[in-house]
């Protein structure tokens, strides 16, 4: 698939577009521009975009089972109002004070997975698992830059990207690695209905699809170099939505792209906060 096969859903010119999530009830794609502190809601049918300014930088969006949203900001996980951008902390995760949380997802097992990033590259970051009652533990340490994370459709496998290690790893039910693949600057991850693992590659303008055991399957090239994340949505979840970041000299950098890639995704799992 080449760069010309993509449609521009919205040319938002995001400084750092991230974490697209399709909301089936409203038929809208929600995402965040981390550096510009903006929440966006895109209506593909109407061709409209609405936004709100966050009161603090938000790095990830997670839908809640009660219909609201969770956000990740700094070391905190909290509720997020998409209409006015208000963030209310629920939980602060432990770790060195100069580390911040990054990407997050609700897994098919009902747990929230969220990782941190260590910009010193000293591998002090970690991947955490947060249960619905907000009890939490470190799932994996010695991480440089925890980025994309998602689970297999049955919730038994966990896929995790470490951007500084240029590696995507699959973990089994016992938490041990069962497969790994080297990817240039892996960013976001999305798993489709067939168990295929889609990985955004920051800097290459590529999205890669791997089989469930992380064997290479497909390569998609986009018309923007800084590809950040992706998710599935639209009718039958057959459209993939890809976020990007701004890059000098790339006209469509910061836009949100979409295409029918011939495989269906799954609705985003919703975190059932018991508090």
Residue ranges for the known binding site for a divalent metal cation are 18, 147, 187
Burial label for 207, CB within 10 Å (0-12, 13-18, 19+), is: buried
Q: 52 to each of 31, 61, 146, 163, 191, how far by Cα in Å?
A: 11, 14, 27, 29, 28
Annotated catalytic residue: which of 23, 150, 162, 187?
187
Beta-carbon count within 10 A of 122 CB: 12
Q: Are the C-beta atoms of residues 210 and 199 closer than 8 Å to each other?
A: yes
Active-site annotation holds for 187? yes
DSSP secondary structure string for all residues of 161-194 = EETTTTEEEEE-TTS-EEEEEE-SSEEEEEE-TT
Residue 166 exposure: Cα atoms within 13 Å on the Cβ side: 6
Cα torsion 266, 15, 204, 115 to 10°: value is -60
161 pairs with which residues across the strands?
Answer: 168
The token pair that represents 260 in the structure block: 């029918």
- Helix, strand and coil in the chain, % to nearest 5: 0, 55, 45
* 34/32 Cα distance (integer angstroms): 6
Residue ranges for the known binding site for substrate are 102
Q: Are the C-beta atoms of residues 92 and 100 closer than 8 Å to each other?
A: no
Q: What is the largest CA-CA distance in the chain?
A: 47
Residues annotated catalytic, as ranges: 187
């Amino acid at each position: 698939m080449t760069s010309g096969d993509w449609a521009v859903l919205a040319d938002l010119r995001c400084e750092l577009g991230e974490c697209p999530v399709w909301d089936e009830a409203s038929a809208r794609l929600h995402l965040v521009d981390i550096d510009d502190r903006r929440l966006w809601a895109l209506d593909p049918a109407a061709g409209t975009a609405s936004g709100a300014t966050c009161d603090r930088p938000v790095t990830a969006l997670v839908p809640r089972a009660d219909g609201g949203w969770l956000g990740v900001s700094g070391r905190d996980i909290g509720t997020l109002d998409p209409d006015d951008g208000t963030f209310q902390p629920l939980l602060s995760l432990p770790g060195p004070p100069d580390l911040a949380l990054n990407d997050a997802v609700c897994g098919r097992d009902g747990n929230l997975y969220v990782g941190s990033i260590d910009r010193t590259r000293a591998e002090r970051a970690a991947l955490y698992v947060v249960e619905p009652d907000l009890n939490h533990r470190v799932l994996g340490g010695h991480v440089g830059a925890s980025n994309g994370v998602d689970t297999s459709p049955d919730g038994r496998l966990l896929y995790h990207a470490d951007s500084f290690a240029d590696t995507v790893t699959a973990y089994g039910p016992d938490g041990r690695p069962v497969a790994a693949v080297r990817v240039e600057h892996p960013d976001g991850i999305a798993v489709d209905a067939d168990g295929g693992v889609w990985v955004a590659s920051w800097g290459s303008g590529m999205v890669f699809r791997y089989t469930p055991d992380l064997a290479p399957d497909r390569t998609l090239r986009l018309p923007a170099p800084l590809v950040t994340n992706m998710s599935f949505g639209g009718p039958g979840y057959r459209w993939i939505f890809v976020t990007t970041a701004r890059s000098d000299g790339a006209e469509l950098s910061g836009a949100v792209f979409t295409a029918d890639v011939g495989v269906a995704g799954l609705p985003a799992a919703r975190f059932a906060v018991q508090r």
